[in-house]
Chain A
Amino acid sequence: MENSTDRIRIKINGTWHDFELGRDIRPADTLAYLLKEKMGLTGLKVACDQGACGACTIIMDGEAVLSCMTLAVEADGHDIVTIEDLGEKDPVVESFAEQCEPGYGTAMQCGFCTPGFVMTAKAFLDENPNPTLKEVKEALAGNLCRCGCYAAIAQAVLRAAKKMRDSE
């Protein structure tokens, strides 16, 4: 029995990349490992490595998924977007950066969880451009922030939604 694929192709931030199994990656490598360690895309973070914290969230085929709980070989043929692909002017990135509001505070303190939150929020807003606060909270339930900036993060997402709607 042989592996059904010796080479895999993954589209990462708009460009297709080829990887040779055995040489570039092992079947047991996670997508998070491939992106961080092999591709140098260090924006995503591996914190819990159990799918609990959301810090490794990336967008695959338009949906926010956990790169630590995805095998790199199973990303074969898929389209992946990481935080690195989002520019400074991205409405979600911008809203997180700008967030500073009496009563809510900032959307980040240490910033460790931020790439995960941004990617989750990005995919969510593409699906639901005009969410309620409740919907935002539910959508972000899979991301943890140890600095406790949840209220401000939710506000940043609502602000990003408005920015995106306004720019259309």
Chain B
Amino acid sequence: MKSFEHINAKSLEEAACILEQNKGKARPIAGGTDLLGTLKDKIHFEYPELLVNLKTVEGLAYIKNDENTLKIGALTRLSDIQKNQSIREKYPVLAEAARAVASPQIQKMATIGGNICQEPRCWYYRNAENTFHCTRKGGKYCNALTGENQFHSVFGAVRVLNPPCSASCPGGIDIPSYIHEIRKGDLNEAAKILLESNPMPAITGRVCPHYCEQECNRWEFDEAVSIRGIERFMGDYVLEHAEDMIRPPERESSKSVAVIGSGPAGLSAAYYLRQAGHSVTVFDRMDEPGGMLTYAIPSSRLPKDIVKGFVHSLQNMGIVFKLKDNVGKDVSIENLTRQFDSIFLASGAWGVPSIGLDGEELTRSGLEFLTNVKQGVKEVLGNKVVVIGGGNVAVDVAITAKRLGAGDVTLACLECREEMPALEWEIEQTVEEGIAVMPSWGPFRVLESDGKVKGIELVRCTSVFDGNGCFDPTLDMSVRKTCEADQIIMAVGQRPDLSFMDPEFALDIDRGLIIIDEKTQQTNMPGIFAGGDVTSGPATVIESIAAGKRAADAIDGYLLKGETARSDQRRPRNTDTLLTFNLDYLKETRRVEMPELPPSERSITAEDVLGLNKEAIENEANRCFNCGCVAVNASDMAPALIALDAKIKTTQRELSAEEFFSVGPMTTTALESNELVREIEIPVQKPNERSAFLKFRIRKSIDFPIMNVAVALDMNTKTISGARIVLGALAPVPLRVKPAENFLKGKELNAETAESAAELAVRGVIALHKNAYKIQVTKALVKRALLSAV
């Protein structure tokens, strides 16, 4: 074993204190039979620096019987529980469970406290050297889901941390949960979950780069789920049912907020603020709301109607739009601070910087070009157009120019092909549409004759970024190239235009960006918040949406002085329920791609990409793994303690056994990292209570259960007045099977009723491809355990 320090604790309090002081670096050791195995194999990414020995704590190994309870100290060894006469007589389920643990030697070493805290039992989880950094350890993927899952859960998985799709989404959308609702056929519920973090899925479904898909675990198997396809369908569904889905608030707060800028950040903040009951007024200098959504993104990617539809639903919520209202000119921002209780600045990044190019005055701005096209201004393009820039605006400009009938369109940028900020598919599309892409060329000077553009001289760019990743292009002046052109369009970056603010308006600004607190979006001035491109520089729509939501939450807290602040409007989802999925997900399937128009039919008005239909998105929903962990809790004592309705007393609190066993990263309990089990308290058995424990394992030595079952029956002469049936090693947590328990109430126990109860115990199982045998074993043992209890 790798080295660690070792300290003998004298009390649990001392041990807890040491664990707290060495958070993440110290582990408690009792019997050590589970812990030392994990340390020898180095199953974890991190190795403890310190072990805190609990065996030196005196007075924690006891079995005490009084009138009402049986009390077992946490350090009581399993062999002592097994041999204790009173436990054997009154609580056979407990004695048998202790007897079933591992081997006689281990029973003499292992403590009951340690047994109920053992780590999950899964060979991927426990593989030496952390070969599989699985989802239970904070990784991304559950290898057992698609791999060797003979010993794993037959009752579904359990979410440990955010799955990789949600974790990689800037908006943190709970993707698996809404997809799960689609699988269940509840589109309304799915839409509600989606709207909790993204009010405009119809828009993001069309324009978001969908980082979530890049992280989708389905790549390990075949291809990512088409989250964009599902999102777009759901987005259109939301707009179709906007009257039901995007509703005015039920209560008004009597507070008012001004939102400056109606791009994604502004609209997102407006939505969430209005939802919280505040009166919201959105200011925008343009004729139509939507900001970049309306004016910069070509209709072929995002039709104006989609943005209009969303804005319309916001108006129906009661949000007021003041358009053609140029804050700074028509109304001063100081004025707004007096009129409104809070302000959210989301004015975007509309400034087009000059790059100091010789002859730059003869070029035009790409952003202005796109805006003109979207406003319907008739653009006359030359025969040879050169677009400078490598981002998605440059790509949009080049494609739009080409589709408007420009002859030759060339896209030149400093970055090499791999470094181009535009997405790979965007670059491919440019090439597909006949645009010449020239990476690694920097503009040097505009060639002119009589004030007319004749071309542009380019120089070789050898690198764009310095060693620290900062923009610092290196040019090789000896390699030059001239491109003929009659029009040059610059799309080389945008930045916030803060000219609308009076210089005396004392907002902290750094390098052209408004400085904010990243959690709350609050500026240095109380009540004034900012977000979106104006604080971050050009970013994605979903990043702006997320900023808008963060700001809305913080503004809400600010306005209500934290009284009833809706810090997070996510409705609680039942995290106790095990995750289910459709077994079809395990078949290798192709991702359904959204149909695209062929290049010859594409235009600047119609959408290039068409959405998926309901059937297709249902297929995609069925491909979602609903990622979780399918490792089981293999404690033998756990089901027995739940069957006996035990209480677990820790250094901090008292929990029912059912609450105690839960799921977290690297843990099977609800314990905090510095919390220790002190005592187990079991209510005294009624005279007519009968219990039994059975375990199925492959061999006797050390073996963990393939499954185990603990039953406790309250007998009323012949009939059963109450039953507790708990299954172990079949699910991520020990599982009470309530349908079977309810069935037995009032019934006589015989082979027939026991068999029916056993059938009910396995109702709703989801066998993985290698563990279906567990179902038969479970049925047989539940029946046997019931019959052997009486």
A28 within 8 A of B: yes
B18 within 8 A of A: yes
B330 within 8 A of A: no
Q: Nearest Cβ in chain A — how far from B44, in angstroms?
A: 15
Task: Determine the chain B residues whose CB is within 8 A of the CB of A49 once the complex forms.
Answer: 40
A88 within 8 A of B: no
Binding site for A on B (CB under 8 A): 1-8, 18, 21, 29, 32-33, 36-37, 39-41, 51, 53, 55-56, 79, 102-106, 108-109, 700-702
C-alpha spacing A69/B18, complex, angstroms: 23
A70:B103 contact, CB within 8 angstroms: no
A28:B3 contact, CB within 8 angstroms: yes
A65 within 8 A of B: yes
A27:B51 contact, CB within 8 angstroms: yes
- Knowing A30-B1, A142-B702, the reply to whether A120 touches B105 (Cβ < 8 A) is yes
A138:B104 contact, CB within 8 angstroms: yes
Task: Determine the chain B residues whose CB is within 8 A of the CB of A29 once the complex forms.
Answer: 1
- Knowing A51-B102, A74-B53, A138-B104, the reply to whether A27 touches B5 (Cβ < 8 A) is yes
Tell me what chain B mostly uses at the interface: helix, strand, loop, or mixed.
mixed
C-alpha spacing A53/B103, complex, angstroms: 9
A120:B104 contact, CB within 8 angstroms: yes
Residue among A49, A69, A74 facing the most chain B CB atoms (10 A cut-off):
A69
B-contacting residues, A1-46, CB 8 Å: 1, 3-5, 26-30
Instruction: Give the residue of B2, B32, B53, B104 whose beta carbon is less than 8 angstroms from that of A139.
Output: B104
A114 within 8 A of B: no
A51:B104 contact, CB within 8 angstroms: no
A51:B4 contact, CB within 8 angstroms: no
Task: Determine the chain A residues whose CB is within 8 A of the CB of B104 once the complex forms.
Answer: 64, 120, 124, 138-142
A26:B108 contact, CB within 8 angstroms: no
B55:A30 contact, CB within 8 angstroms: no
B2:A69 contact, CB within 8 angstroms: no
- What are 20 A-B contacts with C-beta separation under 8 Å? A1-B18, A50-B37, A51-B106, A52-B103, A53-B701, A57-B105, A69-B33, A69-B37, A69-B106, A70-B32, A74-B6, A74-B29, A124-B104, A139-B104, A141-B103, A142-B103, A142-B104, A142-B106, A142-B700, A142-B701
Instruction: Give the residue of B6, B108, B701 whose beta carbon is less than 8 angstroms from that of A144.
Output: B701
C-alpha spacing A138/B104, complex, angstroms: 8
Q: Nearest Cβ in chain B — how far from A27, in angstroms?
A: 3
Instruction: Give the residue of B1, B3, B18, B37 whose beta carbon is less than 8 angstroms from that of A51.
Output: B37
How many residues of chain A get a CB closer than 8 Å to chain B's CBs? 34
B109:A70 contact, CB within 8 angstroms: yes
Task: Determine the chain A residues whose CB is within 8 A of the CB of B108 once the complex forms.
Answer: 63-65
Task: Determine the chain A residues whose CB is within 8 A of the CB of B53 once the complex forms.
Answer: 73-74
C-alpha spacing A70/B29, complex, angstroms: 11
C-alpha spacing A30/B79, complex, angstroms: 22
Q: Nearest Cβ in chain A — how far from B273, in angstroms?
A: 51
Q: Nearest Cβ in chain B — how far from A52, in angstroms?
A: 4
B103:A71 contact, CB within 8 angstroms: no
- Knowing A54-B701, A70-B32, A141-B701, the reply to whether A28 touches B2 (Cβ < 8 A) is yes
A56: nearest residue on chain B (CB-CB)?
B105
Instruction: Give the residue of A28, A141, A143 whose beta carbon is less than 8 angstroms from that of B1.
Output: A28
A28:B106 contact, CB within 8 angstroms: no
A107 within 8 A of B: no
B32:A142 contact, CB within 8 angstroms: no
Q: Nearest 7 A-B pairs (CB), nearest first? A: A142-B103, A27-B6, A141-B700, A52-B702, A28-B1, A4-B8, A142-B105
B103:A54 contact, CB within 8 angstroms: yes
C-alpha spacing A37/B8, complex, angstroms: 25
Task: Determine the chain A residues whose CB is within 8 A of the CB of B103 once the complex forms.
Answer: 51-52, 54, 141-143
C-alpha spacing A29/B2, complex, angstroms: 9
- Knowing A30-B36, A64-B105, the reply to whether A51 touches B702 (Cβ < 8 A) is yes
Q: Nearest Cβ in chain B — how far from A117, in angstroms?
A: 12
Task: Determine the chain A residues whose CB is within 8 A of the CB of B4 once the complex forms.
Answer: 27-28
- Knowing A1-B18, A54-B701, the reply to whether A66 touches B106 (Cβ < 8 A) is yes
A4: nearest residue on chain B (CB-CB)?
B8
> With A71-B51, A139-B104 given, can you name 17 additional A-B contacts, CB distance below 8 Å?
A1-B21, A3-B5, A4-B8, A27-B5, A28-B3, A51-B106, A65-B108, A66-B106, A69-B33, A70-B109, A74-B53, A74-B55, A124-B104, A141-B700, A142-B103, A142-B106, A143-B701
A51:B700 contact, CB within 8 angstroms: no
- Knowing A65-B108, A120-B104, the reply to whether A4 touches B33 (Cβ < 8 A) is no
Q: Nearest Cβ in chain B — how far from A62, in angstroms?
A: 10
- Knowing A51-B37, A52-B701, A66-B109, the reply to whether A142 touches B102 (Cβ < 8 A) is yes
Task: Determine the chain B residues whose CB is within 8 A of the CB of A53 once the complex forms.
Answer: 701
A48: nearest residue on chain B (CB-CB)?
B702
B6:A73 contact, CB within 8 angstroms: yes
C-alpha spacing A57/B109, complex, angstroms: 12
Task: Determine the chain B residues whose CB is within 8 A of the CB of A144 once the complex forms.
Answer: 701
Q: Nearest Cβ in chain A — how far from B145, in angstroms?
A: 26
C-alpha spacing A124/B32, complex, angstroms: 22
Task: Determine the chain B residues whose CB is within 8 A of the CB of A124 once the complex forms.
Answer: 104
C-alpha spacing A139/B702, complex, angstroms: 13
B703: nearest residue on chain A (CB-CB)?
A52
A71:B701 contact, CB within 8 angstroms: no
C-alpha spacing A71/B56, complex, angstroms: 13
Task: Determine the chain A residues whose CB is within 8 A of the CB of B700 once the complex forms.
Answer: 138, 141-142
Residue among B18, B51, B55, B108 facing the most chain A CB atoms (10 A cut-off):
B108
B702: nearest residue on chain A (CB-CB)?
A52
C-alpha spacing A3/B103, complex, angstroms: 32
B79: nearest residue on chain A (CB-CB)?
A63
A124: nearest residue on chain B (CB-CB)?
B104
C-alpha spacing A11/B2, complex, angstroms: 26
C-alpha spacing A142/B106, complex, angstroms: 8
C-alpha spacing A50/B37, complex, angstroms: 6
Task: Determine the chain B residues whose CB is within 8 A of the CB of A73 once the complex forms.
Answer: 6, 53
Q: Nearest Cβ in chain A — how far from B335, in angstroms?
A: 61
C-alpha spacing A54/B103, complex, angstroms: 9
A1:B7 contact, CB within 8 angstroms: yes
Task: Determine the chain B residues whose CB is within 8 A of the CB of A52 once the complex forms.
Answer: 103, 701-702
Q: Nearest Cβ in chain A — how far from B236, in angstroms?
A: 56
User: Binary interface profile of A, 115-149, with partner B (CB < 8 Å = 1, else 0)?
Assistant: 00000100010000000000000111111100000
C-alpha spacing A66/B37, complex, angstroms: 12
- Knowing A5-B8, A27-B5, A28-B2, the reply to whether A69 touches B102 (Cβ < 8 A) is no
Task: Determine the chain B residues whose CB is within 8 A of the CB of A120 once the complex forms.
Answer: 104-105
Q: Nearest Cβ in chain B — how far from A73, in angstroms?
A: 5
Q: Nearest Cβ in chain A — how far from B35, in angstroms?
A: 9
Task: Determine the chain B residues whose CB is within 8 A of the CB of A57 once the complex forms.
Answer: 105
Task: Determine the chain A residues whose CB is within 8 A of the CB of B29 once the complex forms.
Answer: 71, 74
User: Binary interface profile of A, 87-115, with partner B (CB < 8 Å = 1, else 0)?
Assistant: 00000000000000000000000000000
C-alpha spacing A69/B79, complex, angstroms: 16
Task: Determine the chain A residues whose CB is within 8 A of the CB of B39 once the complex forms.
Answer: 28
A50:B702 contact, CB within 8 angstroms: yes
Q: Nearest Cβ in chain A — how far from B347, in angstroms?
A: 55
Q: Nearest Cβ in chain B — how far from A24, in angstroms?
A: 14
C-alpha spacing A50/B36, complex, angstroms: 8
C-alpha spacing A50/B55, complex, angstroms: 20
B6:A3 contact, CB within 8 angstroms: yes
C-alpha spacing A71/B7, complex, angstroms: 12
Task: Determine the chain B residues whose CB is within 8 A of the CB of A139 once the complex forms.
Answer: 104
A69:B36 contact, CB within 8 angstroms: yes
Q: Nearest Cβ in chain B — how far from A57, in angstroms?
A: 6
